[in-house]
Chains A and B, each alone.
Chain A
Amino acid sequence: EAGVVQSPRYKIIEKKQPVAFWCNPISGHNTLYWYLQNLGQGPELLIRYENEEAVDDSQLPKDRFSAERLKGVDSTLKIQPAELGDSAVYLCASSLDLSGELFFGEGSRLTVL
């Protein structure tokens, strides 16, 4: 069975440019998470979806970050415009439900120049 798939694995952009990350969760998983991981730190939750609904987006910087999960399956995370401090790994995870074990993708590494 395929795991959580993320793309792109690596992205290099100049500051002020937009960038988008895509996540395909494990089939049948209702809950989807986006985490941000800075170098040497643990992952930090950005947003969590239960089906199509964002049930926790309190940590998402809404001035430049946006996310969507159309039809309750795939999800995209967008940054516009990107800043130097956004350089990090963006991790997507999914679980069967809000209390289930999380399965993570390999992450998308963003470098902002």
Chain B
Amino acid sequence: AQKITQTQPGMFVQEKEAVTLDCTYDTSDPSYGLFWYKQPSSGEMIFLIYQGSYDQQNATEGRYSLNFQKARKSANLVISASQLGDSAMYFCAMSTDRGSTLGRLYFGRGTQLTVWP
């Protein structure tokens, strides 16, 4: 079974500081992808970053980087130089190589990030 675990229900960080949001996963599939999404109060899920299980380097997208530790089955999101607009719910998600499944993601329960001035 596929499982995503986010152990931090809430995190607080001061503006301009870096913050790490934790994510661990469990799957028996050798090929999988890991995602992070941001969900502001409006409800839309905004794609942030992707890491493939065979990617050699950690993914980076602007202020976002994914700290991928395959042996530990962890895929932590690092946000550098936090901004007030980063306050939102953050979800870690996984897709696995299951044949015809194109758009099925398994989501964690999320971490509510609050950035304070």
A binds B: no
Q: Which residues of B pack against A, CB within 8 Å?
A: none
Q: Which residues of A pack against B, CB within 8 Å?
A: none
